Amino acid sequence: MKCKAIIFDMDDTLFLEKYYVLSGFKQVSLFLNEQFGIDTQESYKFLENRFENYGRNKIFDLLLQKNSSDLGAVNIDSLIIRLVKVYRNHEPDIKLNPIVVNILKKIRKKKIKIAIATDGLPKMQRNKFYALGLDRLVDEMVCCWDHDAAKPSIKCFKIAAKMLNVNIKNCIVVGDHPQHDIVPARILGAISYRVKTGRFCNLNNDRKHPPHNEFSSLTEFFKEIIEYEY
């Protein structure tokens, strides 16, 4: 197959999504300090530790319970809605690893087009995209939710290929999630590679639609697949 384009997942493929989460927690902690005088560092440490050990489930509820004495008669449900808004709308303090920047630049030098196909609230995903500087490194971005095509829908990958003006069968799809990225790529007849990075690295591959190969990092993928074959 002649590779004319690569469609990358973004979160936990090009960068670790946890850094976006922690960036959002910083803004939430600053907000609580400004509004209620709650110590910024203590709030952030609580959120960070809770996230690392238990994930995000009801994390703001627990933070407010911990600091209930500082909140007075405030409506907790309304405050949680405000915290979620702060988190979702914040301008992320995140950067691409220079190694990833270099890989993307080398891919484009080989005249291979690049698109991002990403799941999640479009505003959040665009904030990440621009904060990471991906607008200067790739050709197109598809927010799957904009098209009512949340992964594992094949639709967002078809849209990405169309935007690049490339047949999907001449595309490589690279992602971290075996169901959300690899399965739809295989159904469409694209070559698919899994990078086992981020929070889903221990998920098993789909038995019917496994990746063509898997790698421990984006660097390993680039060196083994792109650098010498194309």
Helix 59-66 and helix 76-89: axis angle, to 10°?
120
Residues 37 and 113 in one domain: no
Label residue 2 by pLDDT band (50, 70, 90): confident
What is the sign, positive or negative, of the torsion defined by CA atoms of 39, 41, 47, 49?
negative
Element (H, E) at 157: helix 155-164
Q: Supply the pLDDT for residue 1.
A: 66
Q: Of 89, 117, 151, which one is at a domain's C-terminal end?
A: 89
Residues 134 and 80 in one domain: no
Residues 50 and 158 in one domain: no
pLDDT, tens digit, 9 for 90 and up, residues 89-143:
999 999 999 999 999 999 999 999 999 999 999 999 999 999 999 999 999 999 9
Average pLDDT over residues 10-20: 97
Q: Collapsing DSSP states into helix, strand and coil, what is residue 142?
A: strand
Domain total for the chain?
2
Q: Of 74, 89, 104, which one is at a domain's C-terminal end?
A: 89
Residues 103 and 9 in one domain: yes
Q: What is the pLDDT of the chain when averaged over all its residues?
A: 96
Q: Of 89, 104, 125, which one is at a domain's C-terminal end?
A: 89
Average pLDDT over residues 23-40: 97
Residues 119 and 146 in one domain: yes
Q: Are 218 and 103 in contact (CB under 8 A)?
A: yes
Residues 140 and 196 in one domain: yes
Contacting residues for 63 by C-beta, under 8 A, at least 6 apart: 28, 32, 43, 46, 47, 50
Tokens representing 179 are 């169901």
Residue 228, pLDDT above cutoff 80: no
Structural domain for 124, as ranges: 5-16+95-226
pLDDT, tens digit, 9 for 90 and up, residues 55-69:
999 999 999 999 999
Residues 134 and 29 in one domain: no
CATH number of the domain at 195, please: 3.40.50.1000
Residues 109 and 179 in one domain: yes
Q: Is the peptide bond before 211 cis (omega within 30 degrees of 0)?
A: no
Average pLDDT over residues 169-198: 97
Residues 139 and 200 in one domain: yes
Label residue 72 by pLDDT band (50, 70, 90): confident
Strands 140-143 and 213-215, bridge-based pairing? unpaired
